[in-house]
Amino acid sequence: MGTAAAENFLKQAREVQEDELSRFAARVAAQLQGPEPGAEAADCLQRLHLVLAASKSPRQLDAQLVELLQTVLCSPKCPEQIQLLCAAILREMAPCDGLRLSCHRIQNTKLLSLVSSVLLAQGEEKAAVSAVGQRIVKALEGRLPEGQSSRYLLPVLSNVISLSPEALTEEQINVVSKKMADWLRYASTQQGVAQPSGGFFSNPRTRQPGPVTEVDGAIATDFFTVLSLGQHYTEDQWLNMQTFSMLRKWLLCYGGKEMNTPNSGDKSEVDRSVMSVVSTSSMSSRLLPPKERLREKAFEYCQRLIEQSNRQALKKADGDLQKACLIEAVTIMDIICKQDSSYVYRAASFLKILHGRISGDATYARALLPIAQFFLNHGEMAAVDSDAIYKHLFTDIPAQLFHNSSLAFEFVLFCKDNSRLLSETSSIFRRSFPNLFKFLAWNSPPLIAEFVDILPFLLDAGTAIEIFHLLLDLPCLTAALDVQMRSSSLPSAERAACDPAVKPAACLEAFRNPLYRSTFQYLLRVESVSEDFQERLIPLRQLLGSLASSGRVMQCADTVPVLLELFFSVVAEFADASLINQLVVLVLQRSDQLYEIPAFKDDVHRVLSSQLVMLCKLRPALVVELSKELLEFSGTVSNIQNKEPIFTQVVWAIGEYMSVSYDKRCTVEQINRFFESLEAVLFEVTQIRPQASVPSYAPRAITVLMTALTKLAARSQDLIPRVSLFLSKMRTFVQSPAVTSVYCEEDREEILIRATELMNLLKMPSVAQFVFTPSVDVAHTRFQKEVNDTLPSALRIVTRLLEPAPGFVPG
């Protein structure tokens, strides 16, 4: 749409100067004051509107012009276009000083609606909103002048009660409720008459219009609703449509037991006691107070709509409307039942039948959500077994319709709004998390924020491990869903199973290969399973790597780090020792079983490494309990290249927590074993091979290794000479030409300084021991915490104590 041209226009409009605007405003005023404002006046008003709208800060308009705009707006002979433009300008300027507009004397309902839109946009005082509300109700109550239609009034009323429910008195609420009940239930079932076009050949005796029809063309079988079709509509049919359109809001606002209007008094007490005696059967409905009568008629209307949704609409657009009507009808029934529980039995049996009818139809899937909501709210009272409904909802729908983004959004929102209730009511919610995550895997950007709220409700000791794996494999799930979709769109001949002996070259083939089938089925499962499929996922993950660069997969991968962090923060609150240990082992294992997207792997490593630290701080004893796994991980040199963040934190944790203070079972042998392993790694990493190029290991890995070795030596003091010797060789390492070419000066300096400080600390073994191996209660004092946090500076202090003269003292 010519964005460059639009951009230009906006820029010009913004740059109009104040004096230019004044001159232009005067011109507009002159146009409007003329006898019949026409096309030129409209043109001017359009430009004026743009100038006002284009700037963020308000523009001042001459008070006379503002006055004139209001006059012109209300003048009966003004063309509609001019009126619309005046109203648009007045709204654009809101809040507008000098607004004298009032709706009290306006008889033309269409103009009343337009003027109301200006008044309601001003926005400060409830009184102004209330005044509009009063005028509208008055117009609805009384007889309108000839030729005026009520149908412009209801939307204004709807807006009024949204802005200020207190705008109407109790009496007015009752009057309007009564009218609404009549409009809903007793609108004409005959089609309207065409307005006679006049002219010489028009026949004043118009044909009898005939009855309205259903959406499938059949003659209407019962009272008029929004799904009744006709060529022309009568006034009360318009009101029927509009009443239904605002019905939910009206009921929510005024249908409840507590009146939030100022005029509720003793009268309502009498009403209520009458209500309790009178039954809700329609025979005595005339005796019902207006609110209760409206409820009754609304309920009947909803039932009729639900029945009408069974018909096959002739036009697709009407079919879409049917579905929207169905959703609205069920929602309104739910509200009615909340407001009056005597409706629950009728509604429950009706909705159970409806559910049976639509549950197999994918085009009606969205309507299953309000039905499930109803049973969540009222199922217990209705003594209906709603498990079948939840089971179908959570088991079948996500698997079949994850790609329908509107359904996905509404489904996830349903889960979010009902997380607590769902986890208490039925185990199916929590068990279905693999299915729920399909929505996120396919439609990541709009759903990630909502999943952040749902995840805590899905996590417990039973699901934590499986969810951990699922989160790490979420982009794989996206890829698998893609393969599944493409496979199901193939003609059936091409979908036959492949020869299992032939290794599949591509994902689509793999989907049909019997050996891979069960692994695909595991990824695409609908429910939590206890079996561990991790080993079998490895080859499939590799195969799915061909899809790793797809936009959808990458958007999903972006959501994983944030979900992982959330996962750990929630799990930390309830995890016991066994679960924490399990997670640490899995972090180590999974760190090289990740989907092959480089940025994704880096982000996941970063998150896992920080969460590893969190887990170790939570339960330091795990370092001793998992010494075997940690030894193996920290002893593998390649881990420094592939998973530097995790490696670094593992080594840090070993140095920090491998100590009798944290676990009495820590033995000298264990400390020595770790020492030797880490020493070997550090040796490997600092070896200078003149012929080969030095692979660059992160400097942080080197310093953390040195520090860990020193800490271990402080606890098993026989090791001190070995460490000191090693540390003393760091100067040579750092100064060698091979290293100078690979590491920058700051890094080399950092390594050297740290080596020196550690050596110096080891010269005072008892100090070293205190600093590095505090007793646990000391560790929690402020002093020790500070020392731990500021270890480098503590080391520097010690260094200065030992070296009063500046310069490096070789060990």
Partner 1 sequence: MVLAFVLLSPGGPPPVGAGPCRVLYARCFGPPPQGRLLRKEQLLAVARQVASHCHLQQASSGRPPAPTLPEDPAPLHAAPGGLFQLPPGDPFPGRVTVTWLAATAVAFALVCEPHENLALAEVTLRLLAGRLMAVLRPPGPAVLLRPDATDLLLDRLLPHGQLLFLSQSFLQALERDGAGRAAR
The Cα–Cα gap between 183 and 95 comes to 36
> For residue 14, what are the contacts with CB-CB under 8 A and spacing of at least 6?
54, 55
Could you say which of 26, 219, 324, 725 contacts partner 1 (CB under 8 A)? Answer: 324
> How many residues belong to the chain?
811
Identity of the residue, 332 or 624, whose beta carbon is nearer to partner 1 in the bound complex: 332
The Cα–Cα gap between 405 and 746 comes to 51
Q: Tokens 């592939």, residue?
A: 642
The Cα–Cα gap between 152 and 157 comes to 10
> For residue 788, what are the contacts with CB-CB under 8 A and spacing of at least 6?
779
Residue 488 lies near partner 1 (rule: CB under 8 A): no
The Cα–Cα gap between 644 and 633 comes to 12
Identity of the residue, 107 or 521, whose beta carbon is nearer to partner 1 in the bound complex: 107
**Residue numbers 202-221 binding partner 1 by CB under 8 A:** 215
Identity of the residue, 50 or 579, whose beta carbon is nearer to partner 1 in the bound complex: 50
Residue 361 lies near partner 1 (rule: CB under 8 A): no
Give, in degrees to the nearest 5, the angle at Cα 72 between 68 and 75. 140
Alpha helices in 499-643 (DSSP H): 507-512, 514-523, 534-543, 551-574, 577-590, 598-618, 622-625, 627-634, 638-642
- Taking the complex as a whole, the smallest distance from the CB of residue 292 to partner 1 amounts, in Å, to 24
Q: Which stretch binds partner 1 (CB under 8 A): 88-96, 265-273, 274-282, 431-439?
A: 88-96
**Residue numbers 427-446 binding partner 1 by CB under 8 A:** 443-446
Please work out the total of residues on this chain that contact partner 1, with binding judged by CB under 8 A: 90
Identity of the residue, 96 or 705, whose beta carbon is nearer to partner 1 in the bound complex: 96
Could you say which of 8, 284, 341, 740 contacts partner 1 (CB under 8 A)? Answer: 8
- The token duo for 20 is 């230019």
- Taking the complex as a whole, the smallest distance from the CB of residue 152 to partner 1 amounts, in Å, to 7
Give, in degrees to the nearest 5, the angle at Cα 247 between 246 and 252. 105
- Taking the complex as a whole, the smallest distance from the CB of residue 384 to partner 1 amounts, in Å, to 23
**Residue numbers 228-267 binding partner 1 by CB under 8 A:** 228-233, 241-242, 244-246, 248-249
The 10 Å CB-count burial string (b at 16+, else e) for 118-148 is: bbbebeeeeebbbbbbbbbbebbeeeeeeeb
Residue 165 lies near partner 1 (rule: CB under 8 A): no
Could you say which of 162, 667, 741, 775 contacts partner 1 (CB under 8 A)? Answer: 162
Residue 362 lies near partner 1 (rule: CB under 8 A): no
Could you say which of 338, 552, 763, 796 contacts partner 1 (CB under 8 A)? Answer: 552
> For residue 508, what are the contacts with CB-CB under 8 A and spacing of at least 6?
483, 486, 487, 490
Residue 569 lies near partner 1 (rule: CB under 8 A): no
- Angle in degrees, 0-180, between the axes of helices 699-715 and 668-686, rounded to the nearest 10: 150
The amino acid occupying position 91 is R
Could you say which of 75, 81, 280, 546 contacts partner 1 (CB under 8 A)? Answer: 81
- Taking the complex as a whole, the smallest distance from the CB of residue 413 to partner 1 amounts, in Å, to 7
- Taking the complex as a whole, the smallest distance from the CB of residue 255 to partner 1 amounts, in Å, to 15
Binding mask 19-58 toward partner 1 (x if CB under 8 A, else -) reads -----------------------x---xx-xx--x--xxx
| DSSP line for 692-708 | SPPP---HHHHHHHHHH
Alpha helices in 100-198 (DSSP H): 109-120, 126-141, 153-163, 170-185
Q: Which stretch binds partner 1 (CB under 8 A): 381-389, 469-477, 551-559, 623-631?
A: 551-559
- The token duo for 393 is 């909802």
- Taking the complex as a whole, the smallest distance from the CB of residue 65 to partner 1 amounts, in Å, to 17
Identity of the residue, 403 or 601, whose beta carbon is nearer to partner 1 in the bound complex: 403
Nearest to 315 by CA among 237, 242, 213, 387: 213
Could you say which of 23, 138, 315, 628 contacts partner 1 (CB under 8 A)? Answer: 315
Q: Which stretch binds partner 1 (CB under 8 A): 319-327, 539-547, 726-734, 735-743?
A: 319-327
- Taking the complex as a whole, the smallest distance from the CB of residue 432 to partner 1 amounts, in Å, to 22
- Taking the complex as a whole, the smallest distance from the CB of residue 730 to partner 1 amounts, in Å, to 43
Residue 127 lies near partner 1 (rule: CB under 8 A): no
Residue 7 lies near partner 1 (rule: CB under 8 A): yes
- Angle in degrees, 0-180, between the axes of helices 745-762 and 765-772, rounded to the nearest 10: 110
Could you say which of 20, 80, 499, 532 contacts partner 1 (CB under 8 A)? Answer: 80
The Cα–Cα gap between 315 and 599 comes to 49
Could you say which of 341, 349, 406, 642 contacts partner 1 (CB under 8 A)? Answer: 406
**Residue numbers 368-397 binding partner 1 by CB under 8 A:** none
For 322, other C-beta atoms within 10 Å of its C-beta total 23
Backbone torsion region of residue 771, taken as left when φ is above 0, otherwise alpha when ψ lies between -120 and 50, otherwise beta:
alpha
Could you say which of 44, 111, 114, 622 contacts partner 1 (CB under 8 A)? Answer: 114
